[in-house]
Structure 1
Amino acid sequence: MDVIQSIVQYVLDLGAPVFVPLIMILVGLSVRMKFKEALSAGVILGVAFTGMTIVIGFMLDNLTPAAQGLVERTGIELNIIDGGWTSLATLAWAWPLAFLMFPLQLVVNGVMLITNKTQTLNVDLWNIWGKILTAVLVVAVTGNIYIAFVVAAISMVVELILADVNQKQIENITGIPGVTVPHGMLLFGVFLFPFNWLISKIPGLDRHIDADTLKDKLGIFAENHIMGFIIGLLLGIAAGYSVPETLTLAVSAAAALTLFPMVAKLFMQALSPLSEAISEFMKKKFSNRQIHIGLDWPILAGSSEVWVAMILMVPITLIYAIILPGSNILPFAGIINISLAVPALIITGGNLLRMLVLGVVTTPVFLYIATAFAPAITQLAYDTGAVDVESGQLLSWSTIELPVFRYIFADAAQIVNGQFSIGLIFVPIWFVCLVAYYKMMKKRTEQLEEAEEAA
C-alpha cells in the first residue's frame, strides 16, 4: 500500500504542466500519432499550462495586495484567514487516504466510458485534490470514511456528465475542437441555473453582451489592454495607492488581460492535432463514437469575459465581507473568484452582463459556506500539521469551489449517524436543478450545431 501511495504521489507531484502533457503524449501515441507530432503537441501543452500559471500568478500578485489595502482602509477585523486553494490543496494531500482517490477517479471514468455513459476522457487527474477535499469535509462533518468516498464518487460522475453536456459550449468559447472541462467548479453551474433563468426574463438583462459587443459599442475602451488599465486604475485608487503604485497596478492589469488570450492560443495549437487524431481513431475503431479530452479550466482563460468579471467582483466581494452579518472570513488569497466566474461563463454563454449579475447575487454563498467550513478545515490543519494556524484564528477559503454541493451533501451525509439535517431536503432539489441544467445545455448544444450547419 505504501508503495502504491508513493508512486501515485510522485506522479502527481510533477504538477499539471508536466503531468498532463505526459498523459497527452501517451494518448496521442495510443491513437497512432507520429512520435514527433505527439511530442510537439505535448510540449506545447506544457508551455500553455506554464504560461497560464505565470500570468495568473502575476495577476494575483498584483491584485491581492490592492484588495488587502482596500480592506485595511475599512479597519475591519475578521477571525477567519483566507488560505486560498493552495492551502486547501496542501491539507487535502495531507489526508492519509488521499492516494486512494486517484484509482477511484480512474475506475469511475473507465466504467462510464466502457458503458457509454460519458464521452469524456478526463486527463485532468492532477485536480483530484478537489475530490479529496470533498471527502475530507464529509469526514469532518460525519466521521464516516465510506460515505466520504461515496460523495466524492458522486462528484466525479456529475463532473463527467457536465463535461459532456457543456462540451459544445466550451468548444464554442475556446475554438478548440473536441475538448471539455470536467472540473468540480462547474458543479456550481447547477446552483446558478435557476438564477440565470430568472435573470434572463428581466427586460434589459436578456441581451447578450460580451467582450465583442462592448468593442462594437465602446471601441478602444473595450479592448483588453484598455479595460485592464481602467479596472486596475480604479482598484488602485480604491486601495489608497500612491500615484506610481496605482499606475503600476493599472499597467499590470492591462498586461494580464492582454496576455491571457495570447497564452490561450497555445492550448489550441497543442490540442487541435491531438483532438483530430483521437477523433479519427474513434471513428475507425468504435463506429464514429466521439471522445472528448477533459482538461483543466485554464483552457477557458483566454475568454476576456472571465477576467473582466473576476476583477470587477473583487471590490464587491470585499464589500460583502464587510457588511454581511455572520460572515467572518477576510477574502485574501482567494479574492479572485475563479470558482464563480468559470461556471458563470459557461451557463451564460459568455454574457458578461449576466455574469456580473450572477456574481452580485451569489457571492454571499461562498462567504457563508467558507465560514461554515472554517472549524472543520482548521481542525484538519491542526491534525495534519500541514498548514500553520495561529491560536485564536480559523482557516478557510473565501471562494471555495463547488460550495453548495459540498455543503449540502456533507450536511445530508449525517444521516449515516442517524441525524436528520436540512441537507436531506436540498439534495433532491439540487438533483432537480441538475436535470434542468442538463436539458438547457442539451438544447443549447443543438442550437449551436444547427448554427454551424447553416453556416
Structure 2
Amino acid sequence: MSSTYKIIKYLIDIGPVIIMPGLLLFIGFFSTKNVLKNLKNCLYIFLGMVGVSLLLTIFTNFFNPLINTILINSLKDYEIIDTGWMLTEIISLSSPILLYIILAVISLNLLMLFFRFTRTINIDLWSYWSFLLAGSIIYIIVEVQWISILIAVITAAITFTLSDIYAHHIETYYGIKGISNTQAHIICWAPLSNIVNAVLNKIPFIKRVHLFYDEIQYKLGFFSEPMVFGLFVGFVIGLITRYRTLMLNIGPDFLYACSSGLKLSIIMILLPRFVNLL
C-alpha cells in the first residue's frame, strides 16, 4: 500500500495543470485523427489552467490581510482552523483502503457505462478525492473496510447519476457540449438549488421577480463592468484592512487601498479570459 500511496501522492504533487492536458492529449491520440489540432487544444487547456491557477493563488493571497485583520480585531477566540485541502489530502491518501476505493469506483464507472446507467466517463483524477474522503472518514469511525468502500461507491454512484442529470445545464449555460461535473462536493448540491428554487416560486412577491445578468448589466451600465466592480470592492477591502492606521498614515494607506483595487480589478479582467481558453 505504501508504493500505491507514493504513486498517487506523486501524481497529486504534479498537479492538474500538467496531468489533465497530458491525459487529454493521450486520449486524443486514440479518439481523433487530427493530431496537430489535438495538440493545439491541449496547449490551450494547459495555458488556461496555468493562468487560472496563478490568478486563484493571487486571489487567495489578496484576502489574507483582510482575514488577519478580522481575526486580530475579533472578540472571539478561534480554536479551530479550516486548513482546507491539506487536511483532507492527509486523511484521504493515508487511508489503508485507498487502493480498494479507487479500484471500486473505476469498476463502478465501467459497469454503469456498460449497463447504460450513466453516460459520464470520469477521467478527472482529482474527483476521486471526494470518494476517498467519504470512505476514509467512515473507516476511521467504524473500522470496517467493506462498509467504508460501500459508502465511497454509493457516493460515486450518486455523483455519476447527478452528473448526467445536470450535464445539460452546463451545456446550456456555458455552451460546452459533452461535459459533466464529477466533483461530488459540487454536483451533490445541485438538487438543493432546485428545492430552493421551488420554494421561492411559491412565494407570491418573489416568484414574479426576474433577474438576469444582461438586464442588470444594462441598468447599471459602467458600474456593472467586472473591472470597475473589482476596483471598487478592492479599494473598500484595502481601506478595511488598514482602518486602524488610516487617519495616522492617510497617504500610504490610501495608496494601499488603490493598489488593492487595481489588483482585484486585474483578477476580474483576466480570470474569465483564462477560463475561456479551457
For the aligned pair, the TM-score class normalised by the smaller chain equals: 0.7 to 0.9
Structure of greater relative contact order (alpha carbons < 8 Å, 6+ residues apart): 1
| Deviation at residue 104 of structure 1 after TM alignment | 2.5
| Deviation at residue 158 of structure 1 after TM alignment | 1.3
| Deviation at residue 214 of structure 1 after TM alignment | 1.9
Which residue of structure 2 lines up, in the alignment, with residue 175 of structure 1?
175
Which residue of structure 2 lines up, in the alignment, with residue 211 of structure 1?
213
- What letter corresponds to residue 262 of structure 1 in structure 2? R
Query: Contact (CA 8 Å) 1:135, 1:152: kept in 2 or not?
Result: yes
Query: Contact (CA 8 Å) 1:102, 1:125: kept in 2 or not?
Result: no
Distance 1:20 1:104 in 2: 22
Which residue of structure 2 lines up, in the alignment, with residue 228 of structure 1?
230
Q: Normalising by the residue count of structure 2, what TM-score does the alignment of the two structures yield? A: 0.86
Cα deviation code 1:85-116 (max 9, x no counterpart): 23322332232332333322321211111111
| Distance change >3 Å, CA 104–CA 213, structure 1 → 2 | farther
Percent identity between the two aligned chains: 20
Distance 2:12 2:77 in 1: 37
Distance 2:201 2:234 in 1: 30
| Deviation at residue 7 of structure 1 after TM alignment | 4.0
- What letter corresponds to residue 251 of structure 1 in structure 2? L
Cα deviation code 1:208-236 (max 9, x no counterpart): 43432321110011111111122222333
SS of residue matched to 2:81: strand
Distance 2:208 2:103 in 1: 44
Which residue of structure 2 lines up, in the alignment, with residue 309 of structure 1?
none
Q: Any unmatched runs of 5+ in structure 2?
A: 244-252
| Deviation at residue 124 of structure 1 after TM alignment | 0.9
Paired residues in the alignment total: 267
| Distance change >3 Å, CA 206–CA 25, structure 1 → 2 | farther
| Deviation at residue 245 of structure 1 after TM alignment | 2.8
- What letter corresponds to residue 46 of structure 1 in structure 2? F
| Distance change >3 Å, CA 216–CA 24, structure 1 → 2 | same
Query: Contact (CA 8 Å) 1:19, 1:126: kept in 2 or not?
Result: no
- What letter corresponds to residue 250 of structure 1 in structure 2? G
Which residue of structure 2 lines up, in the alignment, with residue 260 of structure 1?
271
Query: Contact (CA 8 Å) 1:9, 1:99: kept in 2 or not?
Result: no
Which residue of structure 1 lines up, in the alignment, with residue 69 of structure 2?
69
Distance 1:56 1:208 in 2: 31
Which residue of structure 1 lines up, in the alignment, with residue 246 of structure 2?
none
Distance 1:204 1:2 in 2: 56
Which residue of structure 2 lines up, in the alignment, with residue 193 of structure 1?
194
SS of residue matched to 1:173: helix
Q: Any unmatched runs of 5+ in structure 1?
A: 268-455
| Deviation at residue 79 of structure 1 after TM alignment | 0.9
Which residue of structure 1 lines up, in the alignment, with residue 117 of structure 2?
117
Cα deviation code 1:55-79 (max 9, x no counterpart): 1111111013213312322232121
Distance 2:115 2:221 in 1: 50
- What letter corresponds to residue 119 of structure 1 in structure 2? R
| Deviation at residue 8 of structure 1 after TM alignment | 4.1
SS of residue matched to 1:248: helix
| Distance change >3 Å, CA 255–CA 115, structure 1 → 2 | same
Which residue of structure 2 lines up, in the alignment, with residue 146 of structure 1?
146
Query: Contact (CA 8 Å) 1:215, 1:223: kept in 2 or not?
Result: yes
Distance 2:104 2:215 in 1: 44
Which residue of structure 1 lines up, in the alignment, with residue 57 of structure 2?
57
- What letter corresponds to residue 192 of structure 2 in structure 1? F
- The 5-angstrom pairing of residues 50-449 of structure 1 reads 50-185=50-185, 186-202=187-203, 203-204=205-206, 207-241=209-243, 242-267=253-278
Cα deviation code 1:170-216 (max 9, x no counterpart): 12222222212111122122334322321233324653434323211
RMSD of aligned residue pairs (Cα, Å): 2.2
Distance 2:73 2:155 in 1: 40
Distance 2:196 2:99 in 1: 37
Pick the structure with greater CA Rg.
2
SS of residue matched to 1:43: helix
Cα deviation code 1:312-353 (max 9, x no counterpart): xxxxxxxxxxxxxxxxxxxxxxxxxxxxxxxxxxxxxxxxxx
| Deviation at residue 4 of structure 1 after TM alignment | 4.7
Q: Normalising by the residue count of structure 1, what TM-score does the alignment of the two structures yield? A: 0.54
Query: Contact (CA 8 Å) 1:92, 1:136: kept in 2 or not?
Result: yes
- What letter corresponds to residue 167 of structure 1 in structure 2? A
Which residue of structure 2 lines up, in the alignment, with residue 17 of structure 1?
17
- What letter corresponds to residue 235 of structure 2 in structure 1? L
| Deviation at residue 146 of structure 1 after TM alignment | 2.0
